Amino acid sequence: MAIDFTLTPAQRALQLDARSFAKEVLADARAAESLATPEERFLATKPTYEAMVAAGYLRKCIPAPAGGENAGLVDLAILAEEFYSVNPSVTLTMLGTVLGLLPILLGGSPEQCGRLLGPFLKKSGAPLAGFCSSEPGGSANAASPPPGEGVRTTAKRVGENWIIDGRKKWVSSATGWDRKGADVLCVVCRTDPVAPPEKAISIIAVEGPARGIVFERAINAIGHRAHLVPQFAFQNVTTPQRNLLGQEGGGLALGTAAFTATAALVGIFGVALMRAAFDDTLHFARTEKRGGVHPIIGHQAVGYALADAKTTIEAARALSWRACHALDTQSPAAAELAVQAKIFGSEAAVRVITDLMRVVGIDSYDHEAPFGRLLQDALALPIFDGGNMGVRRRQLHAMFMQPDYDPLAACGAA
């Protein structure tokens, strides 16, 4: 119990194992990203994802109390950095599945956990889960009162079941490998048509494949080219009443809790991408002379640009670890730090990779070099998982308006 940055032996082992697995398995799997259509690309990663599951990495992402092997977000950050720096698409498929399970992990009953988590605790298969939050037309104002649309997807109780109707978009892996639905979908929907938003929204699990899940298209996204983000509909999808997660009407709060955990990890995603770009630039600078006498690392402008990049990387890693630890220990500053780690790491990644491209110069503009890919992946970080402008900074703004907000909580006892 002290300010400490020393990895435990278990963490160090996790880091080195993950680094090896990434190098040996995940690196080559990037080839999937050059296939022609989003679905082809996604399907081509299935063997890699299966290998990840088989090697136990999905289990390492699920908390020990729920039957997995994860000891906390700090550990998850260590793992995520290694994987994401090598193959963001497939890593996001795994971590998107973890996000898809978060409403269960955070809000589910023991019965629900036992029943729904089963496929994800095995070391076989390619189980997918999706957190169905975003909708066509945008969800930055999911908590809007009328006449704002807020959450448009509805769930009505009919007999023992919920009947879900609506459309979703940008939900990682949501329609699964076969367009029929991931193994578990946690659906944010309106369960009360008249109550105010903080009492009207619930999260309900749907077990896929499910009749009424209608695939519309796989988004041709700028990055994460081998990861699936579909647009799809729920048309009279039926799910048993017992699949309501947490309190009825407590969906906004549960969703926010899930997205707080992920925020700290997005900071690490940024670190991972910057780290990869830094490594490539450093190698380039040490070996390329660009027609001159010495490797370009000899130029001060090159060295200083690398210095700025590395400084930012270390700041982002320290802040992300700090946020993960705060969440693990339920610090009063946890929510603030998680959002800050997300904002900082995500925007830093875009800026740093862009800057490093300028060190490399025009050859970075060739898709044979990794920079275009890294930047295209990085561009998602500020805008997914709660956009920094429409959601994340708004969260901080709201915290600052709380009368009991304590700016020193983050340097304090917890």
Is 178 tagged catalytic?
no
Among 184, 187, 326, 327, binds its own copies (CB under 8 A): 326
Residue 2 in contact with its own copies, rule: CB under 8 A: yes
Residue 147 contacts by C-beta under 8 Å, 6 or more apart in sequence? none
What's the min distance (Å) between Cβ of 86 and its own copies?
Answer: 13
214 DSSP assignment: E
Using the contact rule CB under 8 A, the part of the chain among 93-101, 176-184, 232-240, 383-391 near its own copies is 383-391
Residue 383 in contact with its own copies, rule: CB under 8 A: yes
365 DSSP assignment: G
20 DSSP assignment: H
Which residues, in sequence order, are bridge partners of residue 187? Answer: 132, 204
What's the min distance (Å) between Cβ of 307 and its own copies?
Answer: 4
| Residue among 223, 43, 19, 220 at smallest CA distance from 126 | 43
Among 113, 266, 275, 349, binds its own copies (CB under 8 A): 275
Within 62-214, residue ranges assigned H as helices are 73-84, 88-107, 110-121, 197-200
Catalytic residue among 279, 385, 404, 406, which? 385
**98, 104, 110, 115: CA torsion to nearest 10:** -70
Q: Which is nearer to its own copies, 15 or 161 (CB)?
A: 15
Name which of residues 59 to 88 contact its own copies (CB under 8 A). Answer: 74, 81
What's the min distance (Å) between Cβ of 209 and its own copies?
Answer: 25
Among 325, 327, 335, 370, binds its own copies (CB under 8 A): 325
Using the contact rule CB under 8 A, the part of the chain among 48-56, 187-195, 202-210, 401-409 near its own copies is 401-409
Asked if the bond preceding 110 is cis, omega within 30° of 0, the reply is no
What's the min distance (Å) between Cβ of 213 and its own copies?
Answer: 21
Residue 218 in contact with its own copies, rule: CB under 8 A: no
What's the min distance (Å) between Cβ of 195 and its own copies?
Answer: 17
Name which of residues 132 to 161 contact its own copies (CB under 8 A). Answer: 134-135, 137-142, 144-145, 147-152
Name which of residues 185 to 214 contact its own copies (CB under 8 A). Answer: none
Among 111, 160, 368, 404, binds its own copies (CB under 8 A): 368
Residue 280 in contact with its own copies, rule: CB under 8 A: no
Other Cβ atoms less than 10 A from the Cβ of 173: the count is 29
Q: Which is nearer to its own copies, 88 or 127 (CB)?
A: 88
Q: Which is nearer to its own copies, 6 or 124 (CB)?
A: 6
Residue 248, CA distances (Å) to 103, 108, 157, 241 in order: 13, 12, 12, 11
Q: Say how far apart CA 14 and CA 9 lie, in whole Å.
A: 9
CA quadruple 377, 383, 389, 392: dihedral sign = negative
Residue 259 in contact with its own copies, rule: CB under 8 A: no
Residue 8 in contact with its own copies, rule: CB under 8 A: yes
Residue 167 in contact with its own copies, rule: CB under 8 A: no
Residue 394 contacts by C-beta under 8 Å, 6 or more apart in sequence? none
What's the min distance (Å) between Cβ of 168 and its own copies?
Answer: 12
Q: Say how far apart CA 263 and CA 335 lie, in whole Å.
A: 9
Among 56, 67, 125, 303, binds its own copies (CB under 8 A): 303
Q: Say how far apart CA 184 and CA 100 lie, in whole Å.
A: 7
Q: Cβ(27)–Cβ(161) under 8 Å?
A: no
Residue 11 in contact with its own copies, rule: CB under 8 A: yes
23 DSSP assignment: I
Using the contact rule CB under 8 A, the part of the chain among 50-58, 90-98, 201-209, 298-306 near its own copies is 298-306
Q: Say how far apart CA 125 and CA 96 lie, in whole Å.
A: 16
Among 202, 317, 327, 335, binds its own copies (CB under 8 A): 317
Residue 76 contacts by C-beta under 8 Å, 6 or more apart in sequence? 61, 70, 98, 265, 324
How many residues bind its own copies (CB under 8 A)? The answer is 124
Hey, which residues are catalytic here? 385
